[in-house]
Structure 1
Amino acid sequence: MKRLTLILLSILALAACDSKPATNTASPEKPKQETKANEYETGRGAFQKLYIAAHGWAVDAKPFRLQSEYNAGDPVTEGKAGVWHCAFGSAARSSMKSFQWTGISGPGLEQGVSHGGDDAYSATNTSTQVFDVAFLKIDSDAAFQVAQKHGGEKLTKADPKIPVFFTLEWNHGKNKLEWRVSYGSSSDDSQLRVVVDATEGSFLRVEK
């Protein structure tokens, strides 16, 4: 009887060793990528991100033009945009490079900071005159409020969805850092351009 019991136990042990757990042949589901909520920044907010990236490219990088890109849904009345571009020059490299901050998602848009290729740069070129960031004391939201008081409010009342563009550049002739707030289909083809002092926040002039 004991011998029969031992034989049965041996058979059961062998059967347990030969059995394998069933495998799931179906490929595991890939985790879904989370889409970040759209973000919008004022000019200074976006510039700070781009300035850090530019100094990773060249330690002497200095900005010469900051521009917003208009996309439907941008809260332009808050002086904000979902895409900002900033061009930097490096005297040491004799090169300039454009950096872009994107806070919104959509076709052809990838959130985060990206950059273009290097182009030739000359520090003596007045059209690419770099400026000291210490002059940037007035943000794009404040510049918008000034522009509203000098013709912009009439346009936004007539068309609350009118595109608004912000451009920050150094005016070599006047030796000032200026915000240009443009109302219309583009920054170049606009119904109204109001120029605001980016250091003091004062109204400078209207360009047509």
Structure 2
Amino acid sequence: MSRRIVLATHNPHKVEEFHEIVRATRPDLTVVGYDGPEPVEDGVTFAANALIKARAAAAHTGLPALADDSGICVDVLGGSPGVFSAYWAGHRKDARANLDLLLDQLSDVADPHRTAQFVSTIALVLPGGAEHVVEGVWPGRLAAAADGPGGFGYDPIFVPDDQPRGAERTVGQWSAAEKNAASHRARAFEALGPLLAAL
């Protein structure tokens, strides 16, 4: 019998991505989207915002709740956009504008200095009040231009490390299966595995 766990997001891309990641390792769990009120994410760290969302979803649904807060952290920008990744170009939460602004800010930065990491922090909050936080980091660098129709957000400009030299691709050029096996969320979820096993 499948057990439901709510993902505290209204972003259908994240729901689908988490569903595929969870299905690969815990087919007995069913990830459902969150339809409750969206809390104010006023934390200044990924962990703080993930906990805000997971607490709200657990309280609203009575189910174990997962929440991811994630973003792109660019070394030459001191770790920015970081927690502001979704709003980097303003409060409209425009993914293309965010990507274009980041590329513009790095337009004079040479390739060796374009290192960056996708970071995912996942909070698990149980209806009884227990809370857990894990993190996944996916290192790479930023391309000079967007490439590839896949993924979402900053995926079309993120080039993960550990690809064959001369055959590097942006995550926008990866299949969903490739991304879900290697991404920052997959890495965070791997760390979360032992905690989910106790559900």
- For the aligned pair, the TM-score class normalised by the smaller chain equals under 0.3
Task: Pick the structure with greater CA Rg.
Answer: 1
Higher helix share: 2
TM-score (norm 2): 0.22
